[in-house]
Amino acid sequence: MKIETDPKFDFNNVLIRPKRSVLTSRSEVTLERTFKFPHSSLTWTGVPILSANMDTTGTFGVYSALCQHKMVTCLHKFYNSKSFDTVYHFNKTNSETGEKIITDFIPNVSLDPNYFMISTGISEKDFENLVEISENVKFNWICIDVANGYMEKLVDFCKRVRTKFPDKIIVAGNVVSREMVEELILNGKVDVVKVGIGGGSACLTRKKTGVGMPQLSAVIECADAAHGVGGYIISDGGITCPGDMSKAFGGGADFVMVGGQFSGHDENPGEITEERGKQYKMFYGMSSEHAMNKHYGKMANYRSSEGRLIKVPYKGSLHNTVSDYLGGLRSTCTYINASCIKHMSKCTTFVLVSQQLNNPFNN
């Protein structure tokens, strides 16, 4: 046993110090980035924000909104080849209220391969499903996703996927420390490592296992490791507001993945429910008992639920939330004299705080 005594920080432990700036307007800030990757031959240009590959946020409906902003939707791993052949309808009507309910939709021909990821686990069945999808769907991104990215089996699976798909942009995770970032990029041959354990709003991993790392410190350490070997990272988890996203980019993240904050909208699947005059939609972790029952029929008796089922206040159009986050990023950049997202980490100085917000009205 050992104890690391240097402090680790989360987004709410810091603020970004402002600096003199030559920028006079948020409109001068460029949010798109162009990436070249260490193993893939592809290049990618877009806004480096991703929707998490969860049942309620990694969907065709969410893709339909985010692709308009040149952002990426990481589709959940329970889609198969047939899913891409189906046109889902979004004009279903609530029989009681008469309101339209948006569900999954988008025909295959409308999908831009730059703005969605195919997700997969690491079983033989997962590999077969990935290959089958590749025979019918054009895509550029693969996300190899497991809760515990420290398994040797993950590295072996990444190598196998790279051999089968040498040109794809491959993402893998989740991890929170330097050595596994380097291992996945150098030996697993992945391009981007997903960073974050236990920080998600629907995640109970820290409570059930005691395992995790404060997200900002994980981002800083893992970004340094990835950039040292020519790769990139995604900060996954812990985003509660636009300021947190700015802090993730300021800490060195190349991409930021969002789950709970991109839930609860028209574009997310599920019906709107009403309680005491307030409207809600459901959001849940993929290791929750709800997700296990939905996809596997039951929660295995050798594991516990590491996710929760949450009622998220109904938020209307996802475009409004996206605009709020992009506006916050642009504003951060004007405060620190960063003309683009790529320069944010070079222009960021964090200050430790005991209180981030003055919030007497609990809004």
- Domain spans in the chain, listed from the N-terminal domain onward: 11-352
Q: Single out the catalytic residue among 143, 158, 203, 333.
A: 203
Of 85, 144, 141, residue with least CA distance to 115: 141
Question: What pLDDT, on a 0 to 100 scale, did the predictor assign at position 68?
Answer: 94
Predicted pLDDT of residue 84: 86
Peptide bond into 94 cis (omega under 30): no
Task: State residue 298's pLDDT score.
Answer: 44
The parts of the chain modelled with pLDDT lower than 70 are 86-109, 284-308, 362-363
Host H or E run for residue 257: strand 255-258
Q: What pLDDT score was predicted for residue 194? A: 98
Predicted confidence at residue 363, as pLDDT, reads: 60
Those residues with Cβ within 8 angstroms of residue 4's Cβ, 6 or more apart along the chain or in another chain? none
Quote the pLDDT of residue 302: 47
Please tell me the distance from the alpha carbon of residue 160 to that of residue 288, in angstroms, as a whole number.
Answer: 29
| pLDDT the model gives residue 301 | 54
11-352, which class in CATH? alpha beta
CB burial class (10 A; 0-12, 13-18, 19+) of residue 297?
exposed
pLDDT value at residue 110 = 72
**pLDDT (0 to 100) of residue 280:** 87
| 37's tokens | 């990757």
CA distances from 112 to 109, 137, 139 (A): 8, 10, 8
Q: Is 203 a known active-site residue?
A: yes
